[in-house]
Amino acid sequence: MRSSLIDSHGRAISYLRVSVTDRCDMRCVYCMAEDMEFLPRADVLDFAEMERLCASFIRRGVTRIRLTGGEPLVRRDIDTLVRSLGRWLRPKGSSTPGLDELTLTTNGSQLRQHAKALYEAGVRRVNVSLDTLDPERFATVTRRGRLHQTLDGVQAALDSGIAVRINTVAMAGVNDREFDQLIGWCGEIGADLCLIETMPMGDTGEDRRSQYLPLVDIRRDLATRWTLEPLTVRTGGPARYVRVAETGKKLGFITPLSHNFCESCNRVRLSCTGRLYTCLGQEDGADLRAVLRGGGSDDQIAATIDDALSHKPKGHDFMIGRRGGEVSGPVRHMSVTGG
């Protein structure tokens, strides 16, 4: 049996994000182009292939899996995949290979239909993306989403016993006056909130520079009206959290551009085509689908993963010049790799 997953910079990999589809029922302005071309279905892994790859990672020490996309809940029969991955969930404190957490990131539009099945499969937390509480602005930002559906999905998740973190991409001139309202609303419904800087990934037909809002400035401004108590607990993830004393809920900041978080990175990503990305912001990785479909053994899969990890980049090189400067990032869309 192979040892656990350690990259060449000594970082242990315990978290896998899996994009289950590149398709989506929305076209958010920072994520997709209006006229996205999606992958042919034959290019996308089937559930048996996804499960086999996930099992390979779990046996090597991955303890948390997040399903994402595209929109994971538009993949047909997604509940089946969630149920089979849920069988890897292990009791607290157990040392046998298994998952401590299975979760997903969703735009919430289909969450009402799936919430109960997700809970029954063992999902206890989801991230729901929601950038604004204004119905018209929501329709503009998502290009085809309906706010009431996402709100309904959030409520269904909470009613089913699933904790919710709202993910909000901060956009200059779009939702930058809404953060107080979002903090208050999250407090009312009992959800955490995480603000995210726009990352330059793929062509979306929008100018990244005009959207970019550095969260250091936002945090400073919020601190004049809210009591933000720093939390030291780190999940190995990119978010830095505070507790909002007035609501009791957590507020996170994901700042890939204004503050780099790569030194403690514990994650890798599997695209819906079986490509392993060792960094969200770089092209490095390995084609695991080729190994799978070429009849590769479990050991060959493990060896390919090890080889890719030995090249995991030290960090990303995202960059957005503040005033008309350079914009740099990968050419692939976030929906391919899984955000």
* Residue 310 Cβ vs ligand SAM, minimum distance, rounded to whole Å: 27
Region label for 248, one of left (φ > 0), alpha (ψ between -120 and 50) or beta (otherwise): left
Binding mask 286-315 for ligand SAM (x = CB under 6 A): ------------------------------
Distance separating alpha carbons of residues 83 and 81, to the nearest angstrom: 5
Binding mask 86-115 for ligand SF4 (x = CB under 6 A): ---------------------x--------
**Does 69 contact ligand SAM by CB under 6 A?**
yes
Q: In this chain, which of 5, 18, 20, 31 binds ligand SF4, going by CB under 6 A?
A: 31
Distance separating alpha carbons of residues 94 and 183, to the nearest angstrom: 36
* Residue 70 Cβ vs ligand SF4, minimum distance, rounded to whole Å: 5
* Residue 273 Cβ vs ligand SF4, minimum distance, rounded to whole Å: 16
Say which residues have a Cβ less than 8 Å from residue 123's Cβ, sequence separation at least 6.
82, 86, 102, 103, 104, 162
Say which residues have a Cβ less than 8 Å from residue 133's Cβ, sequence separation at least 6.
147, 178, 181, 182, 185
Phi, psi of 293, deg, nearest 5: -75, -15
Q: In this chain, which of 280, 335, 336, 337 binds ligand SF4, going by CB under 6 A?
A: 335
Phi, psi of 44, deg, nearest 5: -90, 140
CA-CA-CA-CA torsion for 33, 38, 43, 48, nearest 10 degrees? 100
The tokens describing 42, both together, are 């034959």
Strand pairing class (163-170; 192-197): parallel
* Residue 141 Cβ vs ligand SF4, minimum distance, rounded to whole Å: 9
Q: In this chain, which of 5, 13, 20, 26 binds ligand SF4, going by CB under 6 A?
A: 26
262 CB-side CA count, 13 A: 18
Binding mask 54-83 for ligand SF4 (x = CB under 6 A): ---------------xxx------------
Distance separating alpha carbons of residues 132 and 108, to the nearest angstrom: 13
Distance separating alpha carbons of residues 201 and 186, to the nearest angstrom: 28
- Residue nearest to ligand SAM as judged by C-beta position: 339
Distance separating alpha carbons of residues 193 and 247, to the nearest angstrom: 11
CA angle 117, 120, 123 (to 5 degrees): 90
Q: In this chain, which of 21, 56, 103, 105 binds ligand SAM, going by CB under 6 A?
A: 105
Choice between 186 and 291, CB closer to ligand SAM: 186
| Size of residue set near ligand SF4 by CB under 6 A | 12
| Total residues belonging to the chain | 339
Partner that binds at residue 32, options ligand SF4, ligand SAM, none, CB closer than 5 to 8 Å by kind:
ligand SF4
**Does 71 contact ligand SAM by CB under 6 A?**
yes
**Does 22 contact ligand SAM by CB under 6 A?**
no
**Does 150 contact ligand SAM by CB under 6 A?**
no
**Does 145 contact ligand SAM by CB under 6 A?**
no
**Does 28 contact ligand SF4 by CB under 6 A?**
yes
Which residue ranges make up the site for ligand SAM (CB under 6 A)?
24, 30-31, 68-69, 71, 105-107, 129, 167, 169, 196, 198-199, 201, 334-335, 339
Residues of each annotated binding site for S-adenosyl-L-methionine = 30, 70, 129, 199
